[in-house]
Amino acid sequence: MLKKFTILLVAINFATAPITSLYAQEQSSEPIFEYSEINHPVMGKKGMVASHNALSSEITAEILAKGGNAIDAGAALGFALAVTLPRAGNIGGGGFMLVHVAKLNKTIAVDFRETAPAAAHQDMYFDESGNVAPMDPSYRFSHKSSAVPGSVAGLAHIVEKYGTMTLAEVLEPAIRLARDGIIVTYDLAADLARSERLKNNPASLKKFYKPDGSNYEVGELFKQPDLAWTLQQIADHGVDAFYKGSVAEKIVADMEAHNGLITMEDLASYKVIEREPVRGTFRGYDIAAIPAPSSGGTHVIEMLNILENFPLSEMGPGSAAALHVTAEAMKLAYADRSKYLGDPDFVEIPTDALVSKDYAKSLAAKISMDKATPSEDIAPGNLAIYESDETTHYSVIDSEGNIVGNTYTLMFSFGSGVVIEGTGILMNNNMGNFTLRPDIPDAFGLMGSENNIISPNRRPVSSMSPIIVSKDGKPFLVTGTPGGSKIISANMQMVLNVLEYGMNIGDAAVAPRIHHQWYPDELLLESGISPDTITLLRQKGHKINFNKSSEAMGSLQTVMFKDGMFYGYSDPRRPGAKAVGVD
């Protein structure tokens, strides 16, 4: 097992082959330190990774050091997090990746979002009276709450199409960790101790707790033999083991025994989709992001387009004026999200209009500098038709210029709480990301439309939105975060802090964040914003909320290449995260 590191934000040195990429032409002999900055990123000369788990980040750096590219390493990290960060890392969920393939000079959006089973229908969670209890176990915490998982297909897809290693080689670290065990950290021990619902499922109880049902303690060895078997099956027999073979058979048997909907046909028909990223610009930089069915990329660009009409840097980061304008832009974008976003394979989405500079200018003209507009006075724009917070994100970049930004999820922390007997697979509860009815908000309080109603094989709308920023055609920054509905606003503020306010990625990540999602009509603030600023925001009519859910908005995992060096920073809002550089 890899040696456990205990010091956060320390780069690890690995011997690697000489760099021959375009990035090599910009290599700096000495790192550039800015002593005026407060939060200093990790540095590396030949690559960088940032993730929510230190051990998994170290594994990823090891893959890079052995000659794998960022795509191999990104897939290895995705599988490893299923072992080390079970609340969010997964092979029983799905998500979205942005992959930049250096040799093609092309950025690809990889959609491996879960799909509704063929037996799913829009009335499946309503009773005979037409009522639904959104926290009812069948809706949130049962076999019936799971959509068809896409993580295994998505991670295998990028390795087989763009990687340099075999799928078995990429899986080896995760198999080893599951088989031999990992040392229980404070973070993992706390996660398991407070997740009592895991004990409601016999297979989950067996996997996550001791034989007598007690909690694992910090420093103890935690082994996952069933998960090791599943990962080994995929290594030996390829992705078909999960979707057509021995693993699929166990998933379906457990579904049939517990009123679940997923069938062998559902698994066998699952497909990864490569999509064209949604693109925009901000202050001369190019933005590539995830398109629908994720709403995140489209509305990050929409918000940046609106904010480009205001001199935010002159107002100053954290000023009442800048925060007011930013909040108003959020309201307008989230209102549009409620109406237009859905699965583009089922509905038409006006993406071109939503990311139009002219449309953004018309929205910016509606913003008063003196007064907050009540949400009830904001409606989605009239356009022509053309996520728990326990998601996780990681970012990887290598010396060749390959990049992976992956955000994937089980939806809630530990998903449905259901482990499939004999597999160690913790299943998602992403059926909860569909809209039950347009008047019923989803699990994160977000309003939706008919475009996101439950339908067989449909992919639910998501907020997941990894972002790649480029200058002069060359990608240099990748970022992303968990956070449910706050993913979109957190990612946008990261980009804004770097490109508008000139912060380094450490200061940009740590800066206090705000969030407004149109409904409910409240401006959520993190701690650290000046009381005087808060008073001014209230005077403008903002309804301020400091509830506990607003204390930590996301957890950005960011890497960048600048001035001949690689930089990485793991947001301190979640414990156990780590950025690791390769030298």
CATH of the domain at 303: 1.10.246.130
pLDDT for 476 equals 95
Q: How far apart are CA 213 and CA 205, in angstroms?
A: 7
Specify whether 49 is located in the same domain as 103: yes
Task: Fill in the DSSP letter of residue 466.
Answer: -
Q: Which of 430, 452, 474 is the last residue of a domain?
A: 452
What are the angstrom distances between the C-alpha of 97 and each of 207, 277, 426, 444? 29, 10, 21, 22
Say yes or no: 183 and 301 in one domain.
no
Which residues fall within 8 angstroms of residue 440, CB to CB, at 6 or more apart?
132, 134
Reduce the DSSP state of residue 408 to 3 states and report it: strand
Q: Are 187 and 576 in contact (CB under 8 A)?
A: yes
Residue 428 sits in the same domain as residue 492: no
For residue 123, count other CB atoms closer than 10 A to its CB: 12
Alpha carbon 231 to chain centroid distance?
Answer: 22
pLDDT of residue 16: 32
Catalytic residue among 230, 263, 351, 391: 391
**Residue 63 belongs to a domain:** yes
- Inside any domain, residue 327: yes
Tokens of 538: 């209230």
Task: Tell me, yes or no, whether 575 lies in a domain.
Answer: no
Q: Is residue 425 part of a domain?
A: yes
- Tokens read off for 135: 């926290």
The residue length of the chain stands at: 583
The CA distance from 441 to 387, in Å, is 11
- Residues forming beta bridges with residue 44, ordered by sequence position: 566
The Cα–Cα gap between 353 and 574 comes to 36
Q: Answer whether 142's CB lies under 8 Å from 133's CB.
A: no
Strands 557-562, 474-479: pairing kind: antiparallel
Note whether 471 and 345 are same-domain residues: yes
Q: First vs last Cα of the chain: how many Å apart?
A: 22
Give the Cα separation of 151 and 171 in Å (integer). Answer: 13
Same domain (yes/no): 270, 281: no
Give the DSSP H or E segment for 462. none
- Give strand ranges (E) for 349-411: 391-398, 403-409
Q: Do the domain assignments include residue 310?
A: yes
Q: Among candidates 396, 463, 393, 390, which has minimal Cα distance to 159?
A: 396
Both 149 and 196 in a single domain? yes
The answer to whether the beta carbons of residues 432 and 416 sit under 8 Å apart is no
**Residue 568 domain-assigned (yes or no):** no
Q: What is the pLDDT along the chain (583 residues), one digit of tens a residue?
A: 333 332 233 332 323 333 334 454 455 445 566 677 889 999 999 999 999 999 999 999 999 988 999 999 999 999 999 999 999 999 999 999 999 999 999 999 999 999 999 999 988 888 777 777 555 566 678 999 999 999 999 999 999 999 999 999 999 999 999 999 999 999 999 999 998 889 989 999 999 999 999 999 999 999 999 999 999 999 999 999 999 999 999 999 999 999 999 999 999 999 999 999 999 999 999 999 999 999 889 999 999 999 999 999 999 999 999 999 999 999 999 999 888 888 888 888 999 999 999 999 999 999 999 999 998 888 776 554 335 556 899 999 999 999 999 999 998 889 999 999 999 999 999 998 888 887 776 655 556 678 888 999 999 988 899 999 999 999 999 999 998 889 999 999 999 999 999 999 999 999 999 999 998 899 999 989 999 999 999 999 999 998 565 457 899 999 999 988 999 999 999 899 999 999 8
Residues 287 and 263 in one domain: no
Query: Is residue 339, in this structure, part of any structural domain at all?
Result: yes
Q: Please give the model's pTM, rounded to 2 decimal places.
A: 0.91
**Is 391 considered catalytic here?**
yes
Question: According to DSSP H, which parts of 150-224 are helical?
Answer: 151-162, 167-180, 186-194, 202-208
Task: Find all residues with CB under 8 Å of 583, minimum gap 6, and list them.
Answer: 11, 12, 13, 14, 44, 45, 46
User: How many CB atoms are located within 10 Å of the residue 99 CB?
Assistant: 26
The domain of 341 spans: 276-389+463-561
Q: Are residues 267 and 349 in the same domain?
A: no
HSE value, Cβ hemisphere, 13 Å, CA-based, for 504: 22
Residue in 53, 117, 49 with CA at minimum distance from that of residue 88: 53
For 578, other C-beta atoms within 10 Å of its C-beta total 25
- Residue entry with tokens 């028909």: 269
Count structural domains, the chain: 2
Q: Are 138 and 237 contained in the same domain?
A: yes
| Residue appearing with tokens 């947001």 | 571
Helical (H) or strand (E) element with 358? helix 357-364
Q: How far apart are CA 141 and CA 418, in angstroms?
A: 7
Confirm whether 581 is domain-assigned: no
What pLDDT is recorded for position 422? Answer: 97
**One domain for residues 412 and 550:** no
For residue 112, give the DSSP letter. Answer: E
In the DSSP assignment, the letter for residue 196 is G
Neighbouring residues of 193: CB distance < 8 A, sequence distance ≥ 6: 215
Alpha helices per DSSP H over 53-166: 54-65, 70-84, 137-140, 151-162
* Whether 254 and 342 share a structural domain: no
295 and 154, same structural domain?
no
CA R_g for the chain = 22
